[in-house]
């Protein structure tokens, strides 16, 4: 993100609508902030205005956003801008806010305050245990599907009991509700919460304890929520409860950037804000400071096709800029090769460029081309640093030291490195723990009381002695987190085990552990009150985008979902094909909102670009082991041709070779969208179009025509599929095989005699 200074954020630098948003401090307010419209500047100035002009105490202000990165940036800018002591302002993510509240009050709900926070892998492990203990059919109850249902239930504040009641006579839903109930019981037994629980349990805390709610309502007299379009029902209820006393709630968001429905986000929260909070004011921020006008026009023209939105139009005082570039290729790997070489040909600094795509699977070809052309890149959305085995091992040790009730953590490291503790011994220990109501670690402390443990009792005893020794050490404030991890690595033998691995993987794992130590040092030096629990909390809440360092000179590859909140000078959106983007699922969904969300995703992708935007597509692409043929995305057709500069490859004839560096150029900006009879050299691959399964499956007896009235490149019409362009004609023994790209259904192959195509003049 660009550097900011106090002057840039000062009140005098605000436009008229931003100033109005700053001065409107009382009552509910919706700031409808378009992409790149300076919402963070307006928010930070609003906080400074409350502190300096309204004389509001810092501790009476709460600002909530979604990522640690955004919260950190806001914190820094508030501190710079305000002459008052702004340190008391709570600036935090939803999850961090809830953790902070729960650390103080969760005992009301029957948990200890040193609870663990489980990530996705931990959740899967717990669910596996639950499914096994319940004897649930793993073919019917898939882990991923069940966890998704549980997550959606928590997003909607639906308890296991409520899910059970709603299931009525539905066997599957009733069983899922029982699994949900057992899953929650297992989490509580482990003194652990998953990410969804952090919000749900805070709402539950406020509902069951009016005293706790009253305390936070009195404390937070002015509440601001950023990225409000991404909130779910649980987050909405949390905010509603907190703002219940004073009503000074300011939410900032853009319904056109609501793209997280699959995570539970409810765009209705922003669309119906005025209904939920009567007498609310709405202020629109439409001036964009990020992009050139041609990029904004493309974004406006695409998004205006959505019906479920609040009207706004982005504009800028910046220059008009270049036209949006459109490139279409025969094959997916030609597309990837062009993107990487185009970046090199233009000489763009790599850290100013991003390649965005709809699905993670699209990254493979791009990665291969980056390697082939020796282009350094970063893949955002790959394996998170904190999900690597060696990191999870060390964190499991730290969790066991901090929270002895976390059975998952204890089970993970009791035999890491190898201590000769077998599964049979652990089975006996688990039975003993369950029979006596102990956590697994508490059972280990009593291992000599477990029948039939034999020599394993001594080995487990040495393990618990080690953990108890560390527990005593962390009570000393002078004992740093760095020293704890260093001692842990040495005394457990974990470091020695990594050093003994002589291959490159062992060295990489060791380097990862050393990077964790760097993270621990950074946390210890920057935290106001550093603690082991605080460190575990911070790493549990980290996200991929928080780790993105745009100063490092690498090309960024990431999904469109992952790009939200970021900006780049030069953006390439690949895979602009019907069925890929928008996805097939959205095209055939019964809910029209699914296609509208895909369009919002396109809008988000377009508005990430500051100076140059290139849209690319392939007419055929390997997906799930099969070649899929596609027409251009409908989102392309929604951009007026005068704002596009197109270059499409010439369709090639069967058996005729073609110079791979020659392409037909269509400059829609000067020819009204019709192909100009010019050519231009640019990089492309040399593989031919086709290779997929034909669109027909029967054999017909036909009478072959002597000639056809059309040829490759001609526009034709089909009685059912409508308008199309002829891509290929094969002269078969019995009939001509014609390949046509139709506007409505994409690419179709058919026999000429049955197709009865009519040439359009």
State the catalytic residues: 39-40, 226-227, 257, 608
> What is the phi/psi pair of residue 522, to 5°?
-60, -45
134 CB-side CA count, 13 A = 21
Rounded to whole angstroms, the Cα distance separating 35 from 52 reads: 28
Helix/strand/coil (H, E, C) string of 130-177?
HHHHHCCCCCCCCHHHHHHHHHHHHHCCCCHHHHHHHHCCCHHHHHHH
Dihedral sign for Cα 298, 304, 310, 313, please. positive
With H, G, I as helix, E, B as strand and everything else as coil, classify residue 320.
coil
> Is the distance from CB of 188 to CB of 174 less than 8 angstroms?
no
Helix/strand/coil (H, E, C) string of 309-365?
CCCCCCECCCCCCCCEEEEEEEEHHHHHHHHHHHHHHHCCCHHHEEEEECCHHHHHH
β partners of residue 285: 33
> What is the phi/psi pair of residue 32, to 5°?
-85, 100
Rounded to whole angstroms, the Cα distance separating 613 from 471 reads: 55
Helix, strand, coil % over all residues of the chain, rounded to 5: 50, 15, 35
Rounded to whole angstroms, the Cα distance separating 537 from 540 reads: 5
Maximum separation of any 2 CA atoms in the chain, in Å: 93
Paired tokens of 340:
């990487």
Rounded to whole angstroms, the Cα distance separating 477 from 164 reads: 48
> Is the distance from CB of 7 to CB of 42 less than 8 angstroms?
no
Paired tokens of 56:
């509001």
With H, G, I as helix, E, B as strand and everything else as coil, classify residue 361.
helix
* CA distances in angstroms from 416 to 400, 424, 539, 700, listed in the order given: 13, 16, 21, 66
List the one residue out of 508, 485, 510, 514 whose CA is nearest residue 496: 510
Residue with token string 């950074």: 522
> Is the distance from CB of 330 to CB of 620 less than 8 angstroms?
yes
Rounded to whole angstroms, the Cα distance separating 391 from 324 reads: 43
* CA distances in angstroms from 9 to 45, 63, 253, listed in the order given: 7, 17, 19
> Is the distance from CB of 617 to CB of 633 less than 8 angstroms?
yes
> What is the phi/psi pair of residue 252, to 5°?
-125, 130
Rounded to whole angstroms, the Cα distance separating 102 from 110 reads: 11
Paired tokens of 647:
């270059």
> Is the distance from CB of 7 to CB of 228 less than 8 angstroms?
no
* CA distances in angstroms from 517 to 389, 484, 521, 540, listed in the order given: 15, 10, 6, 16
Paired tokens of 254:
């853009």
Rounded to whole angstroms, the Cα distance separating 718 from 155 reads: 48
Neighbours of 618 (CB within 10 A): 28
């Amino acid at each position: 993100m660009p550097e900011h200074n106090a002057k840039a954020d000062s009140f005098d630098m605000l436009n008229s609508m931003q100033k109005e948003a700053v001065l409107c401090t009382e009552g509910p307010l919706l700031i409808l902030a378009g992409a790149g419209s300076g919402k963070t500047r307006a928010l930070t100035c609003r906080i400074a205005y409350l502190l300096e002009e309204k004389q509001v105490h810092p501790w009476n202000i709460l600002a909530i956003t979604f990522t640690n990165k955004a919260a950190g940036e806001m914190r820094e800018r508030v501190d710079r801008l305000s002459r008052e002591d702004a340190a008391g302002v709570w600036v935090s993510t939803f999850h961090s806010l809830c953790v902070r509240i729960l650390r103080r009050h969760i005992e009301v709900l029957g948990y200890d305050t040193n609870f663990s926070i489980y990530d996705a892998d931990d959740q899967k492990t717990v669910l596996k245990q639950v499914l096994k203990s319940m004897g649930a059919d793993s073919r019917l109850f898939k882990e991923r599907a069940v966890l998704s249902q549980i997550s959606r239930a928590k997003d909607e504040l639906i308890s296991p009991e409520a899910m059970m009641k709603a299931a009525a006579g539905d066997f599957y839903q009733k069983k899922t509700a029982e699994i949900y109930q057992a899953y929650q019981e297992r989490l509580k037994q482990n003194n652990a919460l998953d990410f969804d629980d952090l919000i749900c349990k805070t709402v539950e805390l406020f509902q069951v304890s009016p005293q706790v709610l009253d305390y936070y309502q009195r404390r937070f007299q002015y509440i601001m929520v950023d990225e409000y379009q991404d909130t779910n029902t649980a987050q909405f209820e949390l905010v509603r409860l907190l703002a219940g006393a004073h009503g000074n709630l300011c939410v900032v968001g853009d319904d056109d950037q609501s793209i997280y429905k699959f995570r539970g986000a409810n765009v209705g929260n922003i669309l119906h804000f005025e209904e939920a909070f009567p007498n609310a004011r709405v202020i629109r921020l439409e001036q964009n400071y990020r992009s050139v006008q041609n990029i904004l026009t493309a974004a406006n023209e695409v998004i205006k096709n959505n019906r479920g939105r609040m009207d706004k139009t982005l504009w800028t005082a910046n220059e008009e800029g270049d036209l949006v570039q459109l490139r279409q290729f025969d094959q997916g790997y030609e597309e990837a090769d062009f993107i990487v070489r185009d970046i090199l040909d233009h000489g763009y600094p790599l850290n100013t460029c991003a390649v965005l795509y709809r699905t993670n699977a699209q990254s493979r070809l791009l990665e291969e081309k980056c390697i082939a052309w020796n282009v350094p890149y970063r893949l955002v959305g790959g394996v998170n640093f904190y999900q690597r085995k060696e990191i999870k091992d060390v964190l499991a040790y730290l969790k066991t030291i901090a929270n002895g009730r976390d059975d998952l953590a204890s089970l993970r490291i009791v035999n890491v490195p190898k201590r000769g503790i077998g599964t049979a011994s652990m089975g006996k220990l688990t039975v003993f723990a369950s029979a006596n109501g102990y956590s697994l670690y508490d059972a280990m402390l009593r291992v000599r009381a477990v029948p039939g443990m034999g020599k394993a009792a001594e080995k487990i005893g040495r393990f618990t002695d080690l953990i108890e020794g560390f527990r005593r050490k962390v009570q000393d404030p002078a004992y740093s987190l760095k020293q704890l991890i260093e001692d842990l690595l040495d005394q457990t033998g974990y470091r020695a085990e990594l050093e003994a691995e002589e291959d490159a993987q062992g060295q990489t794992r060791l380097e990862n552990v050393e990077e964790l130590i760097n993270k621990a040092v950074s946390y210890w030096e920057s935290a106001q009150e550093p603690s082991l629990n605080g460190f575990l909390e911070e790493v549990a809440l980290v996200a991929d985008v928080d780790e993105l360092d745009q100063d490092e000179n690498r090309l960024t590859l990431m999904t469109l979902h992952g790009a939200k909140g970021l900006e780049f000078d030069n953006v390439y959106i690949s895979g602009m094909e019907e069925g890929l983007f928008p996805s097939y699922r959205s095209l055939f969904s019964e809910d029209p909102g699914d296609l509208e969300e895909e369009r919002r995703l396109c809008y988000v992708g377009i508005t990430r670009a500051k100076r140059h935007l290139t849209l690319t597509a392939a007419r055929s692409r390997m997906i799930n082991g099969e070649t899929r043929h596609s027409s251009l995305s409908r989102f392309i057709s929604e951009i007026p041709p005068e704002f596009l500069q197109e270059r499409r490859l010439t369709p090639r004839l069967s058996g005729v070779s073609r110079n791979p560096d020659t392409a037909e150029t269509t400059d829609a900006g000067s020819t009204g969208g019709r192909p100009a009879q010019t050519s231009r050299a640019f990089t492309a691959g040399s593989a031919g179009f086709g290779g997929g399964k034909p669109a027909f499956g029967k054999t017909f007896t036909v009478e072959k025509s002597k000639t056809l009235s059309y040829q490759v490149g001609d526009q034709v019409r089909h009685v059912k599929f409508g308008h199309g362009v002829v891509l290929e004609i094969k002269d078969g023994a019995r009939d001509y095989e014609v390949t046509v790209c139709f506007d409505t259904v994409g690419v179709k192959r058919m026999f000429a005699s049955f197709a009865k195509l009519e040439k359009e003049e």
